[in-house]
Chain A
């Protein structure tokens, strides 16, 4: 069984460029979460999506960041006009459903974004 896949694993962008990070959840999972990990810090929640819907974007910066999870295809985290402070590891996780049971969030290997 394929786990959560993220690509690219490493991404280098110059200041002002756009970064597009892709996440393919575990097959059959319809819930996706994006987290950001700054150097020497824990993961910080950014956004929670279901297919075609944003459920919770309370952790997303108000500007330059957007996320989508279309009916077909991977989830995309898009960062426009990147700045040096966006340099971080971005992790995607997926789970099969929301509910009282603590469904595990399966994490991908992360994308390390470096802004030069």
Chain B
């Protein structure tokens, strides 16, 4: 069974600085997708960024980018130029490409942003 691990329960960053959130996963599959979701206090789950495992190029979405290391099974999220609105819980998630597309989530990292 696949598992997703987020080893940082909490992180903090100064406004305008850069922060990296860690995520590792375990799978025997070669084809899958990885996601980062943001959950602000409103509890709404918002997709931040996705990565296809067959793509070597790291995904980027504006201030958000990932460092995808397939051999190490690592998928970290980098937030550049942090803003107060980035404060939220961040969840890493895995989805098999071969099975039903249920998402397997990590336990989350709470990000605080200080002015």
Contacts and interface: CB of A to CB of B under 8 A. Distances in A.
Interface string B33-50: 101010000111111001
Contacts, number: 57
A102 B45 contact: no
A41 B95 CA distance: 18
Interface string B52-72: 100000000000000000000
B81 interface: no
B102 A95 contact: no
Contact of B103 (A45, A100, A110): A45
Interface string A14-35: 0000000000000000000101
A58 B101 CA distance: 12
B52 A110 contact: no
B101 A98 contact: yes
Nearest to B89: A42
Interface in B57-115: 91, 95, 97, 100-108
A60 B101 CA distance: 16
Interface of A: 33, 35, 41-45, 48, 55-56, 58-59, 89, 91, 93, 95, 98, 100, 102-105, 107, 109-110, 112
Given A105-B101, A110-B44, 15 more contacts: A35-B105, A42-B105, A42-B106, A45-B102, A48-B101, A48-B102, A56-B100, A56-B102, A59-B102, A91-B45, A93-B45, A98-B100, A102-B52, A110-B43, A112-B43
